[in-house]
Amino acid sequence: MRPRTACSSRRSGGGTGPAWKFATGLSADELKAKDEQLRAGGFQPMDVAAWLDPESEPRPVEPGASLVGSAAGWIVANAPGMQFLAVWEVAPSGKPVNRFYAGVPSAGHSAAIDLLKIAEFGALTVQTVAVPSEGTRYSGVWGTASRWNMSWGRTAVNYQAGNSGKPTVDMAVVRDAAGQPEYAAVWHGFTTVEVDQPTGLTTADHLRRAKDLTAAGWRLVTLGVAGPDLAASVWHRPLVPDEAVEALAIRQAHAAASLLKLEQADPVWPLLKHSPDPRVRSYLIHRLGPIGANAEAVIERLEHEKDVAIRRALLLSLGEFGEKELSRDARKAFLLKLPEIYRNASDPGLHAASEWLLRQWKQEGWLKQVNAEWAKDNEQREGSIRAALAPGAVPASPQWYVNGQGQTLVVIPGPVEFMMGSSNRDLDRYDNEEQHKRRIGRTFAIAAKTVTLEQYRQYDKAYTLLPVYTGAPDLPVVGISWFQAAAYCNWLSESEGIDEAQWCYEIRGGATKLKDKYLSLTGYRLPTEAEMEYATRAGASTRRFYGERETLLPKYAWYSKNSQYRLWPVGILKPNDLGLFDVQGNVHTWCQESYRAYPTVAGVADDQEDTLAILNAKSRVLRGSSFDSQPPTVRSSYRTFSVPTLRLDDFGFRPARTLTP
């Protein structure tokens, strides 16, 4: 089989662009001679690749075969069976600087790199080829780029995680003697781009991934292929300064609100669709009322709009209209229709948005009455949700139901995948928030609100705390240890009539342990950390589920700047798009598993069971931050931890469970 070449290309700007030279099928001696010839004309090497001639028998490099030249760099002269392809460009200064590094065997690789580093050179490109009975040979170009560096001999896991967040600019992949993928990479210390690095894909899967990345604005930087079943690549996307993105979002929202005020509504509504970066949408939700936009137009659009995410946003925006912008009569007329949305909307985000608006408009009594009715008839709705999850059913969207305790549970159909953790752009990120792709392979339900004082006292009537924490029944229950939260979940399972074999905790005397395969059991439990972050993000990739900046945080979270350093009743502030309230701020939320570093894997990390033993000295994860948290920690990816016995006045919890058809 004849060798094939893969490359990425770019168009030079203006005129004819820089001059390029290209040569292929060169032996090592011919490559060196060609380089010397072109250097004399002001050209310097830009990239090089090597391959084995299928008509020649490759033989190990003989001792002393490598040549070192001040101009040429390292080129293996005596490399039987190996041929080279190379590209040169006109040296920007007119004086060639870059050096070749071609066909260097593994045995001399480290020594060669050390010499180049001593000369203050850095790797610009890398290419690898596997030589039977010898190992990997390396080729590339080195130049005076001191902040560029090279790594090699890496597994897919180490390649993905090993550059400390610095952008990869070139990569190569081969199979080692055992048939396992082996990666080499060049990376630099600048952060002007964000990077995506698909690895370990078949060429067909890689093509599909490439189309998705291209559509999302990514640009191919380098491509590596080691047969039809192993392809990898590096993609870049420019990093726009966050200040510029934020300023643009504010301007767009202000302009859209002004258009609605001028009764030019058509361009406005699409901006209320949900997206991974919801900044424009969130600013617009909070801008329509204060700018004096037409509230009747918002209500009219709500009645005809089909997109459920836009309907959620319209409801949330209505809560920002005062009596001056939305008359008492108009509000009264809409209040005849709003309860029907609350009753009949199957989407949990729309259900929660209508609940929030009803509460803003002083309808707490009616809400409590309806929830009590649903609590008595919870099995019917839960049964219909299970039917929608049955094999062969139309792919389900998120749903909700009210259990026998009056708690609203948001049902998230699985499997789902998302980016967990925080990106390197987040200046407030901690080292334990390493961003990675996570897969939750099951359908799960999670409470829309944290457990309240009233609900917890149904289980533990003797529970007491200082009056400041127990002054209202709808305050979140706090001062709860992980063990107490687990015991409540078992009690909740029993109260809901769930078979004991499906309970997730085995509690005997003073000892608590997780049951085997607890993520497959349907009893109530604490949410896993991945479930908690997925539910918090609600489809957003930004630092907070509504956007990036702290500007709107007081609309969604109780924290140090608006809480007066005390607890607040659940459900007062706006919910996220999955219908969860207070996922950021008010109280820290216990998670199921013990605290540890995120898994380092190539591709996707599965959300799996933790060790079953619960040790008093082994810390467990808490999410969400609390009423006394500072703004930098009130983020979707922020994680903290505590030993399971600790009871602090801002520790609470919300139950979750796995659902099966």
Q: Which residues of the chain have pLDDT under 50?
A: 1, 8, 13-15, 61-70
**Does one domain contain both 547 and 612?**
yes
Q: How many whole angstroms separate alpha carbon 635 and alpha carbon 456?
A: 27
**Does one domain contain both 402 and 295?**
no
Q: What is the pLDDT, as a whole number, of residue 63?
A: 46
Global pTM value: 0.78
Indicate the helix (H) or strand (E) that contains 102: strand 99-105
Q: What is the pLDDT, as a whole number, of residue 531?
A: 98
**Does one domain contain both 217 and 249?**
no
**Does one domain contain both 319 and 170?**
no
DSSP conformation class of 280: H
Q: What is the pLDDT, as a whole number, of residue 79?
A: 62
Name which of 552, 575, 544, 553 is nearest 353 in CA terms.
575
Q: How many whole angstroms separate alpha carbon 176 and alpha carbon 383?
A: 53
**Does one domain contain both 332 and 391?**
no
Indicate the helix (H) or strand (E) that contains 260: helix 242-261
Q: Indicate the number of domains in the chain.
A: 3
Query: At 263, is the secondary structure helix, strand, or coil?
Result: coil
Q: What is the pLDDT, as a whole number, of residue 496?
A: 94
The residue out of 336, 362, 390 marking a domain boundary is 336
**Does one domain contain both 328 and 427?**
no
**Does one domain contain both 515 and 581?**
yes
**Does one domain contain both 232 and 261?**
no
Q: CA 251: distance to chain centroid?
A: 27
Q: How many whole angstroms separate alpha carbon 306 and alpha carbon 631?
A: 36
The residue out of 238, 261, 279 marking a domain boundary is 238
Residue 133 covered by a domain: yes
Q: Residue 453 belongs to a domain with what CATH number?
A: 3.90.1580.10
- Tokens 């080829």 found at: 129
**Does one domain contain both 300 and 396?**
no
**Does one domain contain both 234 and 246?**
no
Q: What is the pLDDT, as a whole number, of residue 160?
A: 65
**Does one domain contain both 217 and 254?**
no
Domain span at 644: 378-659
**Which tokens belong to 179?**
């048939």
Q: What is the pLDDT, as a whole number, of residue 614?
A: 95
